[in-house]
Amino acid sequence: MRQTGAELSGACRGQPKTRCAALRGGAPFAERMTIDQGASLGLGVQRDVPGSPGLQQQQQQQQQQQRQQQQQQQQQQVSRMRATTRDRRRSKNIQEAAPRRISSPSLRELPC
């Protein structure tokens, strides 16, 4: 069997079998194509070989986005929790304060 560029460069090493097979089938085809042909097919210039800078950048961006989403969700949860406790405190304070206000002697003894 003829070894492809992906196998020779060690791209298949440590990869799951399906991915390796995809590389085996894809690498010679990708190597034969010129950049223009690839661009017209929408494949882009970036080769999908592990360790290529383009792929690493994409992965880093995805990880960053995931982190940001998680942080936003956590902040929303915290603010929601704070709001509910604040509301509880307010209603509790109002309930406690209401009877006291009416029963305070200074209010009762005021001349109308």
pTM here is 0.31
Residue 28 CA to chain centroid, in angstroms? 35
User: Which residues are CB-contacts of 61 (< 8 A; sequence separation ≥ 6)?
Assistant: none
Domains in the chain: boundaries: 1-50, 66-112
Q: What is the pLDDT of residue 60?
A: 85
Closest CA to 8 of 54, 58, 49, 61: 49
Which residue stretches of the chain are H helix?
5-8, 17-32, 35-40, 53-103, 105-108
Q: How many CB atoms lie within 10 A of CB 11?
A: 22
Cβ–Cβ < 8 Å for 8, 25 = no
List, run by run, the mean pLDDT of 10-residue segments along the chain (112 residues).
Answer: 55 54 50 53 54 72 91 89 82 66 58 62
Cβ–Cβ < 8 Å for 25, 68 = no
Q: What is the pLDDT of residue 28?
A: 47
Report the amino acid identity of residue 16: P
